[in-house]
Chains A and B, each alone.
Chain A
Amino acid sequence: MTSDATHPSRAGRGNPEPIGTFPPTEEMLSEPVPEELARAQEERLRKTWETPKGWRYWTAVNNSEVGVWYSLTAFGFMLLAGVLALLMRVQLAVPDNDFLSAETFNQFFTMHGSAMMFLFAVPMFEAVAILILPAFLAARDMPFPRLSAFGFWCFVIGGVFVMGSVLFGVAPNSGWFMYPPLATKAEGLGSDIWLLGLSFIEVASIAAAVELIVGVLKCRPPGMRINVMPLYAWYVLVVGGMILFAFPPLIAGDFLFEMERSFDWPFFDPERGGDPMLWQHLFWIFGHPEVYIIFLPSIAIAAMIVPTAARRPMVGYSWIVLSAVGTGFLSFGLWVHHMFTTGLPNISLGFFSAASEAVVIPTGIQIFAFVATLMVGRVRMSLPMLWIAGALAIFTAGGLTGIMVAIAPFDWQVHDTYFIVAHLHYTLFGGMVFPVMAGVYYFYPFIRKQTMSERLGRWSFWLTFVGFNVTFLPMHLTGLKGMPRRVFTYPGDIGWDWLNMISTIGSFIVAAGILVFAWDLIRPKGHQPTPPRNPWDAGTLEWTHDVPAENWGTRSIPYVTSRYPLWDQPKLQERLDAGRYYLPDAAEGLRETMITSVIDARPLQVLRVTGPSWITLWAAAFTGGAFIVPTFHIYWPAILSAILAVACIIWWLWTSTAQIPEAEHKDVGLGLKLPIYVSGPEAPGWWGVWITMLGDSTAFASLVFGVFFYWTADRSFPPEGYPFVDMGLALGGAVLLSASWAVNLWVRGTARRQSAMQALALAMLLAIGGAAALIASAALPGLDPTAHVYPAIMWALIVWIVAHVSLGVIMQGYCLAGFAFGRITARYDAPLWNTCLYWHFLALQVLVAVAMTALLPRVL
């Protein structure tokens, strides 16, 4: 009855409050559900969450379907990239080999790296998280299922396009980090394929990050406070945040890069004031955190397997949280350690060398926490634990060489040699491949309701583990003996030949191990007995799954009071199955999950999530067209495709999100009624926009960083006597756009439909006028973006703002239509809140952009 427990939801005028009792009493929980009712509820839930049949199967958006497709596709790309590696190893087995031509070899190493990073490691994290996170949280699904499906289809289309280029001999060939000028000057389509194909996938990654962050913060079961949530969720939260700050600089870099490739804007061309180093900075500001984006979620799997194997809770939960958050931050201070040989001042190298050593502290802490847990527990050396043990051994070895190469003078010796190849494979195999394999063995009974073979698993482990070390351990020596990376062959008289032969033999042993695993994964297992529901005696909620499988995610959403509910809440499973917890029914036949508060997981809302649809495929196909067609320097079909993609997404939002419900509240059971429609900061959609715009602002900040970078690096920036952006027009544009923002905000406060519509129309006109003024401010003084990098970067900022204003106008138009057709009212105003939030960010970007274009060059 305490007043401090209520928390004000004044946001979104008149969001209704939950009514009733929370937390549930023991008495309420033990009240039986009549059998008849329970069976009817099950029937309704089953029907609501049914996976579409036949060819409509591919319209599914449920996390259990999308997650499986996603992970299998990523695994498929991994096998393809692995084949490229084997072919390269064959080429390098003996000196002076002519098995592959130099050009083919260049394409293969570029695609091996790019595919392993962008088509396997990062998507695999997203896939696994989409697949298992809702189960850890006993949520029915992710908050935005169609967004997951859209992201997946974008990934498939982009991945097939990029990977397919190898077959036509036009694959990118400048290395996976695409350094200009090699990559900008490269003949053919390769660089464009890399840029546009992978930008497309980066967008999918950001979509996944939004989904996962909102999932962790808002979709936890009632009672699962932030201090009892599974460690996996902590890692996902941290990694989602890292993606928002790491991927956008690369997207900004891709934008600059493609403007240079397509329209000759000289961002990386020193002859016209550009600087190839800017690309290296933007790429590695992405690239180094990315290593940890891959590593943390994989080690998160270890953090779930270790307590189960040790049969006790993790030692030092807060320490692991410290480690995840600390690593997430420090990993952003390492990027220049990839650039130690580029001639930066030594003092600058020193900062990055120091941070590279400092990151060992949080990384080490989590490893020690794992080891401590194993030491104090009663370890059962299960197959997943064997893979984790291998992972820890290999990762630690990779970490030790990491400390060596973080020291700049040592790095100068081994930079671009096979020592680095060995180091990065030790960290990535130990930090990603092995834990993920462990995870597949561990979660397989949950995902497929079958078990993988213990015998084959041990074969696979020992083949992979031994083969890995045979391949990569000698490479340290090969590198110290001076063999550079990326050479397609070498002479036979300098002592590299036997080391290379050993590595090649080892690589085939690894391949054998992976093949045993792949066979075990896909072989028919129909004759096997069904495994027990909780085969490892784990303590976390995914093992409340239904055997045989049900699509509803969880029969009812439990009230959770422990980090290891299955160990500490003995009646949980029985009550969950009996439908005694929350949302045991789908009376309206709509897919629903629960939204809870960020810190204490108090129930807030019943969220109606989207169901199967073709629209996600269409939207992905047209988005693909918009990114892929420009590769061939054809632009009109691309623009048409982009328009169609936007149309698909509008249709999808209009028909399935923020629907006005039939009632204000819904009875979710246990004496609690929750609101159905919530707008503003309480709503998951608002959080989605907020998180997306945070990432968007990071990309914008990267462009701003570019301006300062050019200024720092080049004494003649901006060049003498070059025209400035017109001050009057730029300020006028800023005033018009700010007015549009203000009018939009006013609409959110008004209750009158007619004036809201008129105001929105005015806001759209103001925004269009503002964008036109900004374009004119650079066009009229005659800034030519191909002449020099100064006008080019000014134009880049303006193009960025104009593109965002276009989207902002579409959103205002969406709200206008919403009012016109009764989809938005003063009470049901979620789209309006989201549009306003978007415009907050946009207005800020406009002000910064005008300051950067009109004011700053005059000061400099």
Chain B
Amino acid sequence: MARRQWTSGEADRAEFREERRSLFRITVAPTIWALHFAASYAVAGLTCARLADDGPDVVLMRLVIGAGTLVALGLIVWLGWRSWQQWDASDEGRRLDDQPTSRDRHRFLGHAAFLLSIVSFIGVIYTVLPVLLIGSCL
């Protein structure tokens, strides 16, 4: 079979290869938010409904959700840091990423992932507020 001769319009570096996985990667931070949200809801539901025979163990619930929150926030911060690096992957600093080049596409995906990790971070904080503020099942 004849080999394609892709003429490349720019100096693609290896890291700018077509990132088929990176489209999914921008959804990782919000997925962590979703998992944290669902897990917190499940833990609270179990504590306050199913296992509430001798009075719900709120302290344990708050510890479990608190630990889960630290893990979720840690992961999101790490993802955010990685995508910040990806966004800044050039010598020119952060600028618009609207050119039809592999570099701009790479930076764009980094930028989108970075912004989504910020929103996810705030989302996780919001989720945990009721646990911090209420302190019981009520």
Interface residues of A (CB under 8 A from B): 1-2, 4-7, 16-23, 25, 223-228, 313, 317-319, 321-322, 325-326, 329-330, 332-333, 345-351, 353-355, 357-358, 361-362, 560-563, 597-600, 602, 711-713, 715
Contacts and interface: CB of A to CB of B under 8 A. Distances in A.
A319 B113 CA distance: 10
B93 interface: no
B98 A227 contact: yes
Contact of B127 (A18, A349, A351): A351
B7 A1 contact: yes
A600 B102 contact: yes
A348 B108 contact: no
Contact of B49 (A317, A345, A361, A563): A345
Given A345-B49, A351-B41, A355-B126, A225 B105 contact: yes
Contacts of A563: 98
Interface string B1-13: 1111111110010
B134 A361 contact: no
A19 B2 CA distance: 7
Contact of A7 (B18, B30, B100, B133): B18
A345 B1 CA distance: 66
B130 A353 contact: yes
A598 B23 contact: yes
B109 interface: yes
Nearest to B40: A351
12 contacts: A22-B7, A23-B7, A319-B115, A329-B120, A330-B119, A333-B33, A347-B138, A351-B130, A357-B126, A361-B119, A712-B46, A713-B50
A712 B45 contact: yes
Q: How large is the interface on B (under 10, 10 to 19, 20 to 34, 35 or more residues)?
A: 35 or more
B77 interface: no
Contacts of A362: 119
Contact of A358 (B6, B23, B122): B122
Given A347-B131, A354-B126, A21 B5 contact: yes
A599 B18 contact: yes
Contacts of A333: 33-34, 37, 123, 127
B108 A354 contact: no
Residue with the highest number of chain B CB atoms closer than 10 Å, among A17, A23, A226, A713: A226
Given A6-B4, A23-B9, A322-B119, A599 B19 contact: yes
B22 interface: yes
A562 B100 contact: yes
Contact of B5 (A1, A319, A332, A348): A1
B44 interface: yes
A407 to B, nearest CB: 12
A598 B24 CA distance: 11
B4 A345 contact: no
Nearest to A25: B7
A4 B15 CA distance: 10
Given A17-B3, A226-B109, A227-B104, 17 more contacts: A1-B6, A2-B8, A5-B8, A25-B7, A325-B112, A329-B33, A333-B33, A346-B137, A347-B136, A349-B130, A350-B129, A351-B40, A353-B130, A597-B18, A600-B18, A712-B50, A713-B50
Contacts of A4: 12, 14, 17
Given A23-B7, A317-B98, A5 B126 contact: no
A348 B44 contact: yes
Interface in B88-117: 97-98, 100, 102, 104-105, 108-109, 111-112, 115-116
B48 interface: yes
Nearest to B134: A347
Nearest to B19: A599
A823 B13 CA distance: 42
Contacts of B12: 2, 4-5
Contacts of B137: 345-347
A354 B127 contact: yes
A322 B31 CA distance: 14
Interface in B39-64: 40-41, 44-46, 48-50
B85 interface: no
A355 B112 contact: no
- Select the residue from A22, A600, A713 with max chain B CB neighbours within 10 A: A600
Contacts of B6: 1-2, 5-6, 21-22, 602
Q: Which of B7, B18, B37, B49 has most chain A Cβ within 10 Å? A: B18
Nearest to B87: A318
Contacts of B30: 325-326, 329-330
Contacts of A354: 126-127, 129-130
Contacts of A319: 115
A317 B34 CA distance: 24
A27 to B, nearest CB: 12
Contacts of B20: 597-599
B4 A18 contact: yes
Contacts of B8: 1-2, 5
Contacts of A712: 45-46, 49-50
Which of A5, A319, A560: most chain B Cβ within 10 A? A5
B22 to A, nearest CB: 7
Contacts of A227: 97-98, 104-105, 108-109
B116 A325 contact: yes
A322 B27 CA distance: 10
Contact of B130 (A6, A223, A347): A347
Nearest to B132: A350
Contacts of A321: 112
A357 B105 CA distance: 32
Most buried by B among A25, A228, A317, A358: A358
Given A5-B8, A17-B4, A358-B122, A318 B127 contact: no
B73 interface: no
A225 B100 contact: yes
A428 B57 CA distance: 42
A313 B97 CA distance: 13
Contacts of B112: 318, 321-322, 325
Sorted from nearest, which 3 A-B pairs have the closest CB atoms? A350-B130, A227-B108, A346-B138
Nearest to A327: B119
A202 B33 CA distance: 28
Of A322, A562, A711, most B-chain CB atoms within 10 Å: A322
A238 B2 CA distance: 38
B26 interface: yes
B71 to A, nearest CB: 17
Contacts of B26: 325
Contact of B111 (A23, A313, A318, A562): A318
Residue among B5, B27, B119, B122 with most chain A CB within 10 A: B119
A318 B86 CA distance: 14
Contact of A599 (B5, B23, B122, B127): B23
A322 B44 contact: no
A329 B31 CA distance: 8
A326 B116 CA distance: 6
B105 A226 contact: yes
- Which of A4, A223, A224, A318 counts the most B-chain CB atoms under 10 A from its CB? A318
Contacts of B3: 6, 17
A349 B40 CA distance: 12
B136 to A, nearest CB: 7
A333 B9 CA distance: 44
Contacts of B1: 16-17, 19
Contact of B122 (A226, A361, A711): A361
A599 B105 contact: yes
Nearest to B98: A563
Given A350-B130, A362-B119, A600 B7 contact: no
Contacts of B98: 227-228, 313, 317, 562-563
Contacts of B50: 711-713, 715
Nearest to A408: B130
A226 B115 contact: no
B21 to A, nearest CB: 9
